[in-house]
Amino acid sequence: MSDNSSRVSKRRRVVTKSSAKATQGRDRWILSYADFITLLFAFFVALYSLSLKNSGDEARLKETLQGVFDAVQKSIKPINIGEPIIGEPKDTEMVEVKPIPAAIPTIEENTSSAVYSLLSQVVENQFSGLHATGQISVTESADWVSLELKSGLLFGQGEYELTNEAVALLILVADILKAYPSVILVEGNTDDLPVNSRRLVSNWHLSSLRSSSVVDELVYRGVNSEMIAPIGFSSEHPKVRNTNDYARQQNRRVILRISKRNADNLHDYLFQ
C-alpha cells in the first residue's frame, strides 16, 4: 500500500508541474501583444507630430491637387509625362500657370480697357515664352479686344479636343472674362489643306468644332453662356497667304474677340 501511494503522489506532482508549465506558455502572448501596442502607440504619436509640423503644407497640397483635378477634368487627352508637347512635336514649351495677383481686379477703368490690360499682363508675365514665339497675342481695335491663340497651343494636329495645357490657360482667361462680362465671339480658323480624318468632313467642320471646344470650356469655367458663341471660318480668313508650312501654321488659330460695346446678351448684340 505504501508503494502504491508513493507512486500516485509522484505522478500527481509530475502532472502538477506540467500543468504549470503549459499555463505559463499560453500566457506569453500577452508580452508580445503589449510590445506591439507600445510600438503602435509610438508610431501614431510620431505621425501626429509630423502632421502638426506640416499642417500648412498639407493645406497647400490639397489646394494644388484640387486645382489640377479641376483643370484636367474635362480634358480627354492623358497628362504628359516628362517634357510636355503642345500641338506639333516642335512645340516643347510648358504652359506654367500662376495665380493672378489679387490686386489686379481693382483697376478703375472701363470694362474694355480693363480686359485688355489684364489679358496683356497675363500674356506678358505668365506666358512670355509663348508670346515671344507668336503662340499667343493680345491686340486691340476700336471695337474689339482680341486674344489670338495658335491651334498648336490648344489642340493636337488635326484634333479638336483641348489639351491639358490649353485647359489650364483657359482657366485664367475665364477668370478675367467673368470679372468683366462682355460679348465674346470665338473664331476658329484653319489652313487650306484638306482634312485627313474619318471623323471630319471638311475644314469648316474642324474650325467649328475647335471654336466650340473653347466656348464649351469657358462656359464650364463660369463665363455667361448668353454672352459667347463659336464661329468656324475654315480657311476663308487667313492671316497670311498659305504658301508654305510656316504660313499655314500662322493661319491655324482660334481668336477670342471681346466686344467693347455694352450688351445684355449676344443675340440682341448681333440682331437688334
Look-up: residue for cell 506540467? 18
As a whole number, mean pLDDT of residues 185-194 equals: 95
Cell (9 digits) for 111? 470694362
Which of 11-15, 209-213, 245-249, 263-267 shows the lowest per-residue confidence on average (mean pLDDT)?
11-15
d(CA 225, CA 218): 9
Q: At what angle do helices 203-220 and 164-179 cross, to 10 degrees?
A: 60
Torsion of CA 231, 237, 243, 245, to 10 degrees: -20
Enter the pTM of the model.
0.61
The ranges assigned to domains in the chain are 2-53, 87-271
d(CA 139, CA 143): 11
Q: Residue 246: what pLDDT?
A: 92
Neighbours of 135 (CB within 10 A): 23
Q: Give tens-digit pLDDT for 34-70.
A: 777 877 777 776 666 656 555 555 555 455 445 544 5
87-271: which CATH number, 3.40.50.1820, 3.40.50.720, 3.30.70.870, 3.30.1330.60? 3.30.1330.60
End-to-end CA distance of the chain: 129
Q: What are the beta bridge partners of residue 155? A: 162
Residue 244 has pLDDT above 80, yes or no: yes
Residue 99 has pLDDT above 60, yes or no: no
pLDDT cut 90: percent of the chain above it: 43
Q: Is 189 exposed, middle or buried (0-12, 13-18, 19+ CB in 10 A)?
A: buried
